[in-house]
Amino acid sequence: MTTAIHRRVNACRAGTDPTVVARLPSGWAVMGDPQVLPGYCLLLPDPVVPHLNAMNGPERDQFLSDMARLGDAVFEATGALRINYAMFGNVEPALHAHVFPRFDTEDGALRAAHPWGYDWGAAPRFDVAQSGRLLEKIRALLLSSGGQGPPAIVRAVAAGSLHHLDLTVSDLDRATKFYDSWLPYAGFQRIEDCAEGPLWRGERFDLGLQAASASGAAQRHDRYTPGLHHLAFDAPSEAAVDRLHSSLIELGAVILNPPAHYDQYAPGYYAVFFADPDGIKLEYVYTPG
């Protein structure tokens, strides 16, 4: 099923939705259109799921934590009296969370009512010229490591752990969009780019992209020559592997091997194998225990 939520998440991934505030671990923070109340935002899960109960425990906890984090940022940015939260999904049967700032300046008849009491048709449409400054303020608060909400992902440091890994790609813009579309689902958060290219931070290491040289850009990656064979990312469950597979299909990614048990590697080994635009083999894998 394709809903307005699916279409909007696709636009967020493609970088064509001007309402995007930030990419959070569980999905996309966007400003509402219309702006029925100044600073009204939504949290859209990525990948899209039908409702909150379709998520497993850790995924659900992350979505609810991100919703509260977005509420903290909206609360501080708008100077609201309080924040209202709502999840329905009756008209658009896909999970999305509404985050409404409420103000003591609202009309008395509406101040104590839910936001659907407003005339949404008469509310101002989202406009960058009008709401851009507020969007940037909410974004800055979300991306800040301190203050409201949880800090950005902090890498755990342990003996023998990996610090960072850089991949060389033929088309930096194309590869950035590809990795940005699914890495947050694997627990990586986009951080400030370095001079060479974009960076994502996970709990154990950072992943970066760098542009290939002019001569190297014409070459297709060959995992059977010296260098990287493939890169595997931990998944929290088999269901998470299945959901990422569905998301990758929507993206048009190359699936090398669909989700299945690969017990030749380890008991209960469940993984999907896919390729980036340069043919670099990637894996998302769940192993019990």
- pLDDT of amino acid 151: 35
Q: Does residue 77 lie within any of the structural domains?
A: yes
Same domain, 133 and 25: yes
Instruction: Check whether 146 has a pLDDT greater than 50.
Output: no
Q: Provide the number of structural domains found in the chain.
A: 2
- pLDDT of amino acid 101: 97
User: What percentage of the chain carries pLDDT values higher than 90?
Assistant: 53
> Does residue 97 contact residue 42 with C-beta atoms inside 8 Å?
yes
- pLDDT of amino acid 190: 82
Same domain, 119 and 176: no
Q: Does residue 159 lie within any of the structural domains?
A: no
Instruction: Check whether 150 has a pLDDT greater than 80.
Output: no
Minimum mean pLDDT range among 171-175, 182-186, 233-237, 275-279: 182-186
Model confidence band, residue 42 (pLDDT cutoffs 50, 70, 90)? very high
Average pLDDT value for residue range 1-17: 85
Which residue(s) pair with 75 in the sheet? none
- Retrieve residue 51's tokens: 């409702």
- pLDDT of amino acid 264: 93
Last residue of a domain, one of 143, 173, 203: 143
- Retrieve residue 146's tokens: 């301190």
130 by DSSP, 3-state: which? helix
- pLDDT of amino acid 235: 85
Q: Percent helix, strand and coil across the chain, each rounded to 5?
A: 35, 25, 45
Average pLDDT value for residue range 129-154: 66
pLDDT per position as a tens digit, 254-278: 999 999 999 999 999 999 999 999 9
- pLDDT of amino acid 157: 53
Sign of the CA dihedral 163, 169, 173, 178? Answer: negative
Instruction: Check whether 154 has a pLDDT greater than 50.
Output: no
- pLDDT of amino acid 221: 85
pLDDT per position as a tens digit, 200-223: 888 778 999 999 887 777 788 888
Instruction: Check whether 82 has a pLDDT greater than 80.
Output: yes
Q: Does residue 34 lie within any of the structural domains?
A: yes
CA distance 43 to 32: 10
> Which amino acid is located at 266 in the chain?
A
Same domain, 132 and 201: no
- Identify the domain containing residue 54 by its residue range: 4-143
User: What percentage of the chain carries pLDDT values higher than 70?
Assistant: 93
Where is pLDDT greater, at 83 or 222?
83
> Does residue 36 contact residue 86 with C-beta atoms inside 8 Å?
no
> Does residue 268 contact residue 287 with C-beta atoms inside 8 Å?
yes
Instruction: Check whether 33 has a pLDDT greater than 80.
Output: yes
* Mean pLDDT value across the chain: 87
> Does residue 162 contact residue 203 with C-beta atoms inside 8 Å?
no
Q: Does residue 194 lie within any of the structural domains?
A: yes
The label of the residue with tokens 């509406």 reads 110
Same domain, 127 and 197: no
- In this structure, what CATH number is given to the domain that contains residue 207? 3.10.180.10
List, in sequence order, the alpha helices (H) in 79-197: 108-111, 128-143, 172-182
Same domain, 126 and 185: no
Smallest CA-to-CA distance from 239 within 263, 270, 265, 266 is with 270
Model confidence band, residue 161 (pLDDT cutoffs 50, 70, 90)? confident
- pLDDT of amino acid 152: 42
> Does residue 21 contact residue 138 with C-beta atoms inside 8 Å?
yes
